[in-house]
Structure 1
């Protein structure tokens, strides 16, 4: 099966672990529970950022 979001790297919002390589990861699912910390991450177009800085700015009130 092809990826829903080809060439997108997914990272855990809590611990920063790389999700694409984790057992059970499939970007056709709308969530993935990180095997490192157990955090349930949303896998959606709304969570794709150009850079870590863009992610940080969108998710931190400063």
Structure 2
């Protein structure tokens, strides 16, 4: 089976807290989620509010790459 040319693609969502310097985090590193989206319905980059373990709260996650 080859790659399908469907409309659904896998995306990576990254927490926006990585841009804030000197944030007191519980752990070092960047927290990310993976999800899927339909590129025909949502051609632009997605932004979702999700729980971040580093921030210990709900923050905005932005689509990368």
More helix by share: 1
More strand by share: 2
Larger radius of gyration between Structure 1 and Structure 2:
2
Q: Answer yes or no: same fold by TM over 0.5.
A: no
More RCO (CA 8 Å, sep 6+): 2
TM-score after normalising by structure 1:
0.32
TM-score after normalising by structure 2:
0.31
